[in-house]
Chain A
Amino acid sequence: DIQLTQSPSFLSASVGDRVTITCRASQGISSYLAWYQQKPGKAPKLLIYAASTLQSGVPSRFSGSGSGTEFTLTISSLQPEDFATYYCQQLNSYPPGFTFGPGTKVDIK
């Protein structure tokens, strides 16, 4: 099975900071990767799919890049509503394995 790791597990940042989260896959997954944001007590929200395609309605300060085994989620200027936990997810087309990474919690400095 494909395993995902995320770094860092936790980061403390201030409003306006540029934030980068990395997701690494145990084997190449092309661009079959999505990013989600989750706030406490809420369902996850899709931010990015196909590694770099911004979901409709998601602010442009969010961007994704990478392919193969290394991916990044960047928030160009952190806003108060961005403090949350972020998960990457690999969505390999066959066999269907939609594993999530362990998550990165972004907290207020």
Chain B
Amino acid sequence: QVQLVQSGAEVKKPGSSVKVSCKASGGTFSSYAISWVRQAPGQGLEWMGRIIPILGIANYAQKFQGRVTITADKSTSTAYMELSSLRSEDTAVYYCARTGEVQGPKGYYYYMDVWGKGTTVTVSS
């Protein structure tokens, strides 16, 4: 059973960057995409982007374009999410999630079935 283990909590200054890791254990890493989702305190879920490790291709939500970089290291089964130019509004729990797909009659149906426990990132001066 695959598990996603995330790196520990971070406290960052405004304007700096943070890099969060997500290591997969117990299953196949490259066969799936890895998405990153964040949740600000008391707020809903926000999808940031995803990477397909086997292809090395990343897609980002428009809101985060230019500020987020998602990478993956197949040799260590680890995905990374780096967010730059941090501001207080980036204070949130950041989750990685395995993103699978099944083929349907009109295309691929995606889903996020395995999640990390989350990494708290606090941005404060």
Contacts and interface: CB of A to CB of B under 8 A. Distances in A.
Interface of A: 1, 30-32, 34, 36, 38, 43-46, 49-50, 53, 55, 87, 89, 91, 93-103
Given A87-B44, A98-B35, A103-B44, A34 B62 contact: no
B45 A87 contact: yes
B110 A32 contact: yes
Interface in B13-55: 35, 37, 44-47, 50
A46 B62 contact: no
Contacts of B113: 46, 49, 55
Interface in B56-115: 59, 61-62, 95, 97, 102, 104, 106-113, 115
A45 B48 CA distance: 18
Given A87-B44, A89-B47, A98-B47, A31 B112 contact: no
Contacts of A34: 110-112
Contacts of B62: 1
29 contacts: A30-B106, A32-B107, A36-B45, A36-B112, A38-B45, A43-B97, A43-B118, A45-B115, A46-B112, A49-B110, A49-B113, A53-B109, A55-B113, A87-B44, A87-B45, A89-B45, A89-B112, A91-B110, A91-B111, A95-B59, A96-B59, A97-B47, A98-B35, A98-B110, A98-B112, A100-B46, A100-B47, A101-B44, A103-B44
- The range of chain B's interface size is 20 to 34
Given A32-B110, A91-B111, A98 B50 contact: yes
